[in-house]
Structure 1
């Protein structure tokens, strides 16, 4: 159950959601108005491009889908098991995400299209970091599933089932984090264009260091 998960989960999920929201806002404003933190829209654009025989777009959208997949696979390689547990290589994954975002920033400021792929891989890696554990499905790079789950929970409660308040709060925290991250991303993109990606990249580094310090302190106390 969600009640068995550590209390730091909410803070970490909020920061990760804000990072993804910021990156996605930069994508929507600068990557030809295309999202990179989730793939539903990209998959639809891929299908439309195939119908219109726009093969340059087909390969581009397919590359974004593949990049997200590769990022998720990299996370699966680093992190073992489905339970949230201190000591796992979340900090390593976050540092790799930071490198991918900084590389995307460099490529995009130089006008190189492969920056889109690097940003998509970063989001795929992050989305794979938080998965299904202890009855809580947590996704930090999109909010469609969260709204769906909240609707299901509300409907079930109206039917008389117990309402998991902590799970609902966690989902709301992620949604708010994603929206605020989008606001920050829009502000930064207007001010510094693709250099805005430096901020979420830096946030990944800060989160990785905080996780490593916290893990070390817990180990010394046990």
Structure 2
């Protein structure tokens, strides 16, 4: 049993947390002051817009939610839904995440809202990848965790591997 995480895991966790915070900062600055990785707030705004019959904005928020789910599903396709194991496709997943974020940056710098969807997909991909090696269990207080579990399970099914949520 590990009593302390290896140094490389600590450094990696710090860098991933820094990256997620940076993506959130961009989302907060560029999209109705709503982060693209915190789906609880996005889902709440989506529900409020549905009640207000604001079709355009609610569609935009729905696509952000679905983009996160698809990013998590991509992680489920690429990475087996088990504990950390070297040799899995973590590096490839991070390259895809980087490409998604680069595309988001280019689109958002030209005021194209598609950038929000790419950033949300990158967040879903990262969240699912981290969940597969951190041993997370189903989270019930934040929708990001539930969407991550659903996306990972969907990705595993697409790969043909049965899975259980959160591990």
Q: Same fold (TM over 0.5)?
A: yes
Residues 70-219 of structure 1 correspond to what in structure 2 (within 5 A)?
Answer: 70-131=70-131
> Relative to 1, partners in 2 of residues 1:130 and 1:2: Cα closer, same or farther, differing over 3 Å?
farther
User: Separation in 1 of the partners of 2:45 and 2:95?
Assistant: 31
Give the number of the structure whose alpha-carbon radius of gyration is greater. 1
> Relative to 1, partners in 2 of residues 1:44 and 1:4: Cα closer, same or farther, differing over 3 Å?
same
Offset at residue 86 of structure 1 (A):
1.1
**RMSD, matched Cα:** 2.4
Runs (5+) with no aligned partner, structure 1: 146-222
If the length of structure 2 is used for normalisation, what is the TM-score? Answer: 0.77
Offset at residue 108 of structure 1 (A):
0.9
Runs (5+) with no aligned partner, structure 2: 146-167
**Deviations, residues 91-123 of structure 1 (Å, cap 9, x unaligned):** 000000000001011111111111110000000
Q: SS at 1:84's partner residue?
A: coil
**Deviations, residues 134-177 of structure 1 (Å, cap 9, x unaligned):** 7566x9xx9x99xxxxxxxxxxxxxxxxxxxxxxxxxxxxxxxx
Offset at residue 32 of structure 1 (A):
2.1
If the length of structure 1 is used for normalisation, what is the TM-score? Answer: 0.58
Does residue 48 in structure 1 map to residue 29 in structure 2?
no
User: Separation in 2 of the partners of 1:115 and 1:24?
Assistant: 13
Greater length-normalized contact order (CA 8 Å, ≥ 6 residues apart):
1
> Relative to 1, partners in 2 of residues 1:83 and 1:106: Cα closer, same or farther, differing over 3 Å?
same
**Deviations, residues 181-215 of structure 1 (Å, cap 9, x unaligned):** xxxxxxxxxxxxxxxxxxxxxxxxxxxxxxxxxxx
Offset at residue 81 of structure 1 (A):
3.3
